[in-house]
Chain A
Amino acid sequence: MNARRIVAVFGAALVAAFALPFVLPSNYAVNVAAMILFTAFLGQSWNIAGGFAGQTSFGHVVFFGTGAYASTILQVAWGWNPWLGWIAAALAGGVVGLAIGALAFRAGLRGSYFALVTLAFAEVFRILANSAEFTRGGLGILIPSDPRAANLQFKDPVWFYWIALALLALSLAVAAWLKRSRFGAQLAAIRENEDAARALGIDVFRAKTICLGISGAMAAAGGTFYAQKYLYVDPSIAYGVEKSVEMLLVSMIGGAGTVFGPLVGAAVLGGVGEITRSFAAGQGLSLVVYGAILVAIVAWLPDGLIGVFARRGGARRGRDA
């Protein structure tokens, strides 16, 4: 597909997605759709580092939580406008990403060692948030409800849907840029074989660190969205392992390192979540089904669900979709 056609298709899909809430039957359905888009966005933030650069993280929640806390504390304790706080949160996530990247990559941690160290960072942040004064420990922070657009709070869930859509569109643009840019080519080389990438003169340390910074800024922006939607943050919401797993899961199921993988993964998991919830109360069943899907994907579709479309479309294999 040439660039103009891609932009046209993308634009049409965006308009359709924008109009979707008008045909959805209920606020509940709009909410479900908003959370699918939001999960796709978070998945994309993971995918930038985990998929495109192959730096698998088990603790991406460290950025998500940092964003959620940053904007919430700035707002509640310092009286900042949450829109401004949102930008500050993204910056904070970017800084944490650069810092963790600089430490971990300078120490030469790769593969599962990197994954474990991110998990450790997330746990340390959770414990700190649980015990620090300015995060109000385990009590968490409540954002006073005052639904006005200027406060980044909305009564009608359709606004969160549109914001999630905008975030997702932005993240898809970042991913599409990575597919075509020099920086993206560096990351692909690093993912495929770090030593060979270095031998070709790619500054591996720099590229990986910057990549984690971008990824962290995106996940942190997601944290603010989450906090503004539920008007509450506590250590287990912000830094709990569940969100880390969710981000990783939607990317892996949809197709890590692809532009649309996280969206496909989020749609499938969101759909499965809704169906299982209608069968059984509580969380248990959906997790069982998630696990089964992940096992099946890893066993039979290592390129993710999107790999199926790519192959059928006669395109080159998986990663290219």
Chain B
Amino acid sequence: MADDAILQVRDLRAGYGPVEILRGVDLDVRAGEIVALLGSNGAGKSTLNNALSGIFRPFGGSIRFMGAEIAGAPAARIVEVGLVQVPEGRRVFPNLSVRENLELGSYRRGRANRARNLERVVGIFPRLAERAGQAAGTLSGGEQQMLAIGRGLMTEPRLLILDEPSLGLSPLLVEEMFALIRRLNADGLAILLVEQNVVQSLAIARRAYVLEHGRIALSGPAAELAGDPALRRSYLGL
């Protein structure tokens, strides 16, 4: 496979207790690309996410990020090397202000450039600047999702994992969210997009993987997958 991959997952096996969920997953993300990881509920997307970000120790296999093995490393160290996850469900700090939420983003990484990054993030999300002093819990769902992503950007990620960023947003906001992800990527940021929203994800991704029962069932350029009959049958009901 490609040598320019910043994230290289090989034969990854992971799960909970005695239950193996991921049964040998191979996946690559190269510099500057959006890769979509698709799959229905229970396919193992969250397990893969948790293994990548160090929340659970994988059973076996390898995860190489920027050339270094990180499988089983503590979550704090994984953030330190620039692999940053924006967890699903807009997990903001509800009683802290928007500004404090963002500042906490640069807790482990990107502290030196905090002021500059803050400016950059509110440049991307002007709404957050308007609400800087407001408690994050009082924001709307879409604004909270933007705050969560903005907070992730404060860490100066080399690869940003977005876990279901469109979950629970209105159709209009979903559009906006995908446009935004494309914009972040246009600035050179590599993004692993973990989504159930197949059509929109394939529209912005360069490549995609489809996870089924803990294995990669399909993979390839997003444009090809969008026309794949098997995928269309199982996800789009066509």
Contacts and interface: CB of A to CB of B under 8 A. Distances in A.
Interface stretch (B89-97, B178-186, B201-209): B89-97
B31 interface: no
A202 B108 contact: yes
B203 to A, nearest CB: 26
Interface in A32-59: none
A203 B79 CA distance: 11
Nearest to B86: A199
A201 B79 contact: yes
Contacts of B97: 316
Contacts of A201: 75-76, 78-80, 84, 107-109, 155
A198 interface: yes
B104 interface: yes
Contacts of A182: 107
A188 B104 CA distance: 10
B225 interface: no
Contacts of A188: 93, 96, 100, 104
Contacts of B84: 199-201
Interface residues of A, number: 20
Given A188-B96, A201-B107, A201-B109, A193 B91 contact: yes
B107 A185 contact: yes
Contacts of B92: 192-193, 196
Contact of A316 (B75, B107, B133): B133
Given A189-B107, A317-B135, A198 B75 contact: yes
Interface string B19-46: 0000000000000000000000000000
A319 interface: yes
A186 interface: yes
Best-buried of A186, A197, A200, A319 by chain B (most CB within 10 Å)? A200
Interface in A196-230: 196-203
A67 interface: no
Given A196-B87, A196-B91, A189 B135 contact: no
Contacts of A195: 87, 91
Secondary structure dominating the interface of A: helix
A196 B75 contact: no
A200 B84 CA distance: 7
Contact of B108 (A196, A200, A316, A319): A200
Contacts of B76: 201-203
Contacts of B55: 198
Interface in B81-121: 84-87, 91-97, 100, 103-105, 107-109
A55 to B, nearest CB: 16
Given A200-B79, A316-B133, A193 B109 contact: no
Contacts of B8: none
Contacts of A202: 76, 107-108
Contacts of A198: 55, 75
B155 A185 contact: no
A261 interface: no
B104 A185 contact: yes
Nearest to B81: A201
A317 B134 CA distance: 9
Contact of A199 (B74, B85, B103, B133): B85
12 contacts: A188-B93, A188-B100, A189-B107, A199-B53, A199-B87, A200-B79, A200-B155, A201-B78, A201-B79, A201-B155, A203-B75, A203-B76
Interface of A: 182, 185-186, 188-189, 192-193, 195-203, 316-319
Interface of B: 53, 55, 74-76, 78-80, 84-87, 91-97, 100, 103-105, 107-109, 133, 135, 148, 151-152, 155
Given A197-B104, A201-B79, A201-B108, 7 more contacts: A192-B92, A196-B87, A199-B91, A201-B80, A203-B76, A316-B135, A319-B95
Q: Which 3 pairs, one residue from A and one from B, show the smallest C-beta to C-beta distance? A: A201-B79, A201-B108, A192-B93
